[in-house]
Amino acid sequence: MTYIKINFGGSFEDEFQKAVDEVFHLVRPAFKNYKCTWQPNIDVYESIEEIIVLVDVAGLNKEDLNIEVDRKKIKIAGSRKAIQLLHNARYCQAEIPHGYFERNVVLPALVDVQSAVASYADGILVVRMNKLLPGKTHRVSVIATK
C-alpha cells in the first residue's frame, strides 16, 4: 500500500494540491502537475583541446540558468516555470517537468576555468572549456626587489 505524506508546515493549499496530484499520478503515471526536481539530459564531448557540455533545457531563459565550473566538474542549475496555456483547463496528460533542477557532472579531463564560455539557443545550452594540457609548463618571471 502506498501512503501519501502531507506536511502542513507550508501553505495548506499547495500541499493539498501536491497530494491530490500525487494520487492522480499513482492512478495514471502520465499525470504529474506539481513542482519537482528534474534532471535535463546532458551530453559531454571531448576533443584534443576542449570539453563541450550540451544541456537540453528548453523553455528556460538564460537568466534562469546558473553555471559553476571548477577544474574537475561542472554544476548546472536552474528553474523552469510551469506553462499555463488555459486558465480553466483540465490536464489530460502532463509530462513536461518543471521546477528546480541541478546537475553535477565530473569532466573527463581537467579544464581551464577561465576559458569557460556558455551559449544558449533553441533550448540547448552549450558550455565550452579548454582542457589543461598535461606537462604544459608556465614560466614564472622573477622580479627584483630592493
Q: Let me know how long the chain is.
A: 146
Global confidence as pTM: 0.67
CA-CA distance, 131 to 49, in Å (whole number)? Answer: 6
What tens digit of pLDDT does each residue of 49-87 get? Answer: 999 999 999 989 889 999 999 999 999 999 988 877 777
Which pLDDT score is estimated for 121? 93
Which pLDDT score is estimated for 10? 57
Task: Tell me if the domain spanning 36-130 has CATH number 2.102.10.10.
Answer: no
3-state secondary structure of 69: strand
* Residue ranges per structural domain of the chain: 1-34, 36-130
